[in-house]
C-alpha cells in the first residue's frame, strides 16, 4: 500500500479500531484513510466491484470475512474474474486479490470452518494461493498483486498466530525454496543429511504445514527420512516441479485439510502416479478431513479434521510395507 497508490482494500468490518475479524487489516484504515473501504455484507458485489476496479487498472484487495462465504461470490469469480482475460483475447489485465481466512480447528461450526478452495481450482485464468508459514505471506501477496491475474489468497486461521520459519536450517529440518513457472515458491523441507534419500515424500499446503515441522523433527529422531513439498500456488499446479521433487521416494503421502474426494489431492495424486508409475512401493495415500460437515463440538471436530496423530499413523503404515 505504501509503494502503490492503486492498491485499495475492501472488506467487511475492516476499519479501525476493529481492524477486521482476524485483525489482519488493523491500522491500515488509519494510515490510508482514502484507500480502505468498509463494505456492506455483499460478497457478490464486493467481488464484482473489485473486478470492475481491476478492469480499470487498479489493484483491489478484497476480503471475505470467512472462506466459507466465497460461494456467495462464485459467479463473479467463475464467470467474470476468471473469464475476462481469456474471452476478451488478452486485451485486459485483472490485477485483483481476494483474501480470506480458511480452515477449522476453532470450533466455529460447519459454515465457518471450511476449506472450500477445491471449488475454485482449475479455472484457467484464476490463481489460487495458500502460503504456509515457511514463506513470507506478505511477499507472496505483493507478488500476487503485481501479476495481473485474479487471485484467491487463502490464509489458514491456525497459521495466523504462528511465527514465520524462514531459516535454512531449523534443528533437524533443512528448508530449501524452489520456484515454479509463475515464480511462486515451492518449499522443500527435509529432515535428513545430504548423503541420505527420502523414505517418504509428503505433499501438502496451507494449514497442514503447521503440523509438518513437528512431524519431521520427531521422525528425524527415528531416522525416518522425509521430504515435504509445500507449494504456494495450488492452481495452476506447478506439477513438473512437484513431480521432480518427489522423484526417488517410494512412498508418498498427499495431505490437505479439506476432504480428499474430488479435490486438490486427487489432482496431485494422479499427476504423481503419472510421473512415478512402477517406481512406488505401494499406493499414494491421501489424507484429509472426513467426508462430513465439520462439527462444532471440539472433540468431534478434532476427529474429523487432519491431525498430527492421523499423519503419524499413516507414516507408520507405509513404513511397514
Partner 1 sequence: MLSLAKSPLTDQRNEVREIIEAFYRQMYTIRKVEQTLLDLFAQGYITGTVHTSMGQEACDVGVVNSLDRSKDILFSNHRAHGQFLAYCDDVEGLIAEIMGKETGVCLGIGGSQHIHKGNMYTNGIQGGIVPNAVGAALAEKIKSTGSVAVVFLGDGTMGEGVVYESFNIASLWSLPVLFLLIDNGIAQSTPKHMEHAGDLETRAMTFSIDSASIEADDVIKVYLTACDIVNEIRERSRPFFLHVKTSRLGPHSKGDDTRSKEEIELLKQKDPLLSIAAGLPSDLRMQIEQTIDARIQQAVEKAMMAGHPGLEQLRRVEL
Give least dist CB 86 to partner 1, A.
Answer: 5
Q: What angle do CA 157, 161, 165 make, to 5 degrees?
A: 110
Give least dist CB 36 to partner 1, A.
Answer: 12
Binding mask 52-71 vs partner 1 (x if CB under 8 A, - otherwise)? xxxxxxx-x-----------
Contact flag: residue 33 with partner 1 (CB under 8 A): no
Cβ nearer to partner 1, comparing 178 with 218: 178
Q: How far is CA 146 from CA 52, 185, 299, 321, in A?
A: 17, 15, 42, 47
Contact flag: residue 179 with partner 1 (CB under 8 A): no
Query: Contacts with partner 1 in 248-307 (CB under 8 A)?
Result: none
Contact flag: residue 48 with partner 1 (CB under 8 A): yes
Give least dist CB 221 to partner 1, A.
Answer: 38
Cβ nearer to partner 1, comparing 87 with 293: 87
Q: Which of 197, 192, 245, 247 has its CA nearest to residue 222?
A: 192
Contact flag: residue 184 with partner 1 (CB under 8 A): no
Residues near 90 by beta carbon (within 8 Å), at least 6 away in sequence: none
Scan for cell 492498491, then name that residue.
7
Near partner 1 by CB under 8 A, which window of 42-50, 97-105, 183-191, 298-306?
A: 42-50
Instruction: Please select the residue that binds partner 1; options are 4, 23, 79, 167, rule is CB under 8 A.
Output: 79
Residues near 53 by beta carbon (within 8 Å), at least 6 away in sequence: 8, 60, 96
Contact flag: residue 229 with partner 1 (CB under 8 A): no
Instruction: Please select the residue that binds partner 1; options are 23, 30, 106, 124, rule is CB under 8 A.
Output: 124
Instruction: Please select the residue that binds partner 1; options are 1, 21, 24, 44, rule is CB under 8 A.
Output: 44
Burial of 298 (0-12, 13-18, 19+ CB in 10 A): exposed
- Coil vs helix vs strand at 87: helix
89: left (phi over 0), alpha (psi -120 to 50) or beta: left
Cβ nearer to partner 1, comparing 127 with 251: 127
Instruction: Please select the residue that binds partner 1; options are 14, 15, 50, 305, rule is CB under 8 A.
Output: 50
105: left (phi over 0), alpha (psi -120 to 50) or beta: left
**Maximum Cα–Cα distance across the chain:** 61
All three cell numbers of 95, joined, read 490485477
Cβ nearer to partner 1, comparing 72 with 119: 72
Give least dist CB 48 to partner 1, A.
Answer: 3
Instruction: Please select the residue that binds partner 1; options are 89, 168, 169, 291, rule is CB under 8 A.
Output: 89
CA 123/CA 291 separation, integer angstroms: 24
Which residues form the interface with partner 1 (CB under 8 A)?
Answer: 8, 34, 37, 39-40, 42, 44-45, 47-58, 60, 75-76, 79-80, 83-92, 124-125, 236-237, 239-240
Amino acid at each position: 500500500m505504501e509503494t502503490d497508490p492503486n492498491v485499495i482494500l475492501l472488506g467487511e468490518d475492516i476499519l479501525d479500531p476493529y481492524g477486521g475479524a482476524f485483525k489482519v487489516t488493523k491500522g491500515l484504515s488509519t494510515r490510508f484513510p482514502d484507500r480502505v473501504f468498509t463494505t456492506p455484507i455483499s460478497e457478490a458485489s464486493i467481488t464484482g466491484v473489485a473486478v470492475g476496479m481491476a478492469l480499470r487498472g487498479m489493484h483491489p484487495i478484497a476480503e471475505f470475512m470467512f472462506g466459507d462465504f466465497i460461494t456467495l461470490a462464485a459467479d463473479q469469480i467463475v464467470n467474470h474474474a476468471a473469464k475476462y482475460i481469456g474471452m476478451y483475447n488478452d486485451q485486459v489485465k485483472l490485477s485483483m486479490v481476494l483474501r480470506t481466512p480458511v480452515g477449522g480447528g476453532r470450533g466455529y461450526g460447519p459454515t465457518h470452518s471450511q476449506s472450500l478452495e477445491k471449488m475454485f481450482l482449475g479455472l484457467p485464468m484464476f490463481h489460487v494461493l495458500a502460503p504456509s508459514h515457511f514463506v513470507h505471506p506478505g511477499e507472496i501477496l505483493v507478488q500476487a498483486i503485481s501479476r495481473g491475474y485474479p487471485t484467491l489468497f487463502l490464509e489458514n486461521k491456525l497459521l495466523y498466530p504462528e511465527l514465520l520459519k524462514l531459516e535454512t536450517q531449523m534443528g533437524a529440518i533443512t528448508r530449501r525454496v524452489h520456484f515454479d513457472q509463475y515464480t511462486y515458491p515451492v518449499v522443500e523441507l527435509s529432515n535428513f543429511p545430504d548423503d541420505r534419500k527420502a523414505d517418504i515424500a509428503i505433499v501438502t499446503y496451507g494449514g497442514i504445514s503447521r503440523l509438518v515441522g513437528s512431524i519431521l523433527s520427531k521422525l528425524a529422531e527415528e531416522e525416518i527420512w522425509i521430504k515435504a513439498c509445500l507449494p504456494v500456488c495450488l492452481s495452476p499446479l506447478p506439477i513438473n516441479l512437484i513431480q521432480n521433487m518427489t522423484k526417488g521416494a517410494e512412498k508418498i503421502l498427499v495431505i490437505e485439510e479439506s476432504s480428499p474426494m474430488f479435490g486438490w489431492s486427487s489432482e496431485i495424486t494422479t499427476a504423481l502416479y503419472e510421473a512415478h508409475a512402477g517406481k512406488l512401493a505401494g499406493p499414494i495415500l491421501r489424507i484429509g478431513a472426513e467426508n462430513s460437515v465439520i462439527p462444532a463440538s471440539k472433540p468431534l471436530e478434532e476427529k474429523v479434521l487432519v491431525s498430527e496423530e492421523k499423519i503419524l499413523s499413516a507414516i507408520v503404515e507405509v513404513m511397514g510395507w
